């Protein structure tokens, strides 16, 4: 037997509060908490920094998704001219004229604006038709003074 | 906001609180909160004294201990100090979400 070394890893010593604080301090500083706030501030602050970080990650994730969507649309618009042996007359679609609506409120505003523009166009068309009909009825004659 | 204790004694007001820095300082001179079961008297002494470090580091120990003698409901007071001490660590980690297959518990009357 002799004095053989014990095999296997020794049990991990439980960390003290101070050791854990030193381990996690860099993480909290990386998410915006100051050194002073971490060590000397209200301990509850850490909870709110974590929640804020989750919100920030969600927002960044959504921004990246939106960026991907713009790139996807842009490549789609360019697709006609990216094909091998395209004819000279083929043109790319124009890039989006405005950003995507990012919430329901903006979507509703755009739909209302589009509806209002359609109504205006119809009204103009009807006025034009009515004018042409009047000219046609009068035989094309106009009174001169 | 985390909890703190306000003590009024001899026309003075004292705020007892733990920060991570004061907990770090207490541990660096040998304090171990786990000793509360095995060495309660020593642990309570150091826990109580440590609660003054955040805002009243220079207060005379004689005053601190005369104050302690006059504190009513000592057990509740020490429990509150213990909870405040542990908050410095507990606030660094999220509580498990409810209904995630975790154990449940309740206090029996």
Q: What is the ipTM of this complex?
A: 0.84
Question: Is B4 in CB contact (< 8 Å) with chain A?
Answer: no
pTM of full prediction above 0.80: no
B84 min Cα distance to partner chain A (Å): 9
- Write out the DSSP string of B23-66: HHHHHHTT--GGGGTTSHHHHHHHHHHHTTTTT-TTS-HHHHHH
Alpha helices in chain A (DSSP H): 17-30, 35-40, 45-82, 104-137
Chosen for mutation from B15, B18, B19, B20 (greatest number of chain A CBs closer than 10 Å) is: B20
Portion of chain B with pLDDT greater than 70, in percent: 94
Is there a contact between B64 and B49 (Cβ–Cβ < 8 Å)? yes
Q: Looking at beta carbons, which residues of chain A come within 8 Å of B28?
A: 18
- From the list B2, B54, B89, the residue facing A17 with the nearest CB is B89
Residue A71: pLDDT above 90?
yes
* Overall average pLDDT of the A107-123 stretch: 92
Instruction: Give bridge partners of residue B6 from the DSSP assignment.
Output: B15
Asked if B88 lies within 8 A of A43 by C-beta distance, the reply is yes
Portion of chain A with pLDDT greater than 70, in percent: 84
In this prediction, residue A145 carries a pLDDT of 46
């Amino acid at each position: 037997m002799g004095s053989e070394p014990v095999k296997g890893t020794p049990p991990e010593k439980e960390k003290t509060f101070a050791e854990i604080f030193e381990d996690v301090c860099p993480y909290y500083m990386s998410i915006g908490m100051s050194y002073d706030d971490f060590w000397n501030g209200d301990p509850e602050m850490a909870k709110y920094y974590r929640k804020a970080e989750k919100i920030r990650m969600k927002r960044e994730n959504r921004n990246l998704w939106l960026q991907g969507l713009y790139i996807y649309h842009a490549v789609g618009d360019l697709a006609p001219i990216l094909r091998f042996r395209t004819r000279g007359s083929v043109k790319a679609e124009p890039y989006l004229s405005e950003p995507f609506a990012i919430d329901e409120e903006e979507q509703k505003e755009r739909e209302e604006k589009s509806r209002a523009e359609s109504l205006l166009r119809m009204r103009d068309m009807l006025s034009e038709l009515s004018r042409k009909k009047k000219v046609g009825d009068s035989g094309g004659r106009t009174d001169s003074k | 906001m985390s909890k703190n204790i306000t003590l009024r004694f001899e026309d003075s007001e004292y705020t007892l609180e733990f920060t991570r820095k004061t907990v770090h300082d207490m541990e660096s001179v040998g304090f171990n909160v786990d000793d509360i079961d095995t060495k309660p008297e020593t642990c309570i002494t150091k826990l109580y004294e440590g609660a003054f470090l955040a805002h009243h580091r220079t207060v005379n120990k004689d005053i601190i201990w005369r104050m302690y003698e006059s504190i009513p409901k000592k057990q509740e007071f020490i429990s509150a100090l213990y909870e405040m001490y542990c908050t410095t660590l507990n606030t660094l980690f999220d509580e498990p979400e409810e209904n995630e297959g975790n154990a449940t518990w309740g206090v029996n009357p």
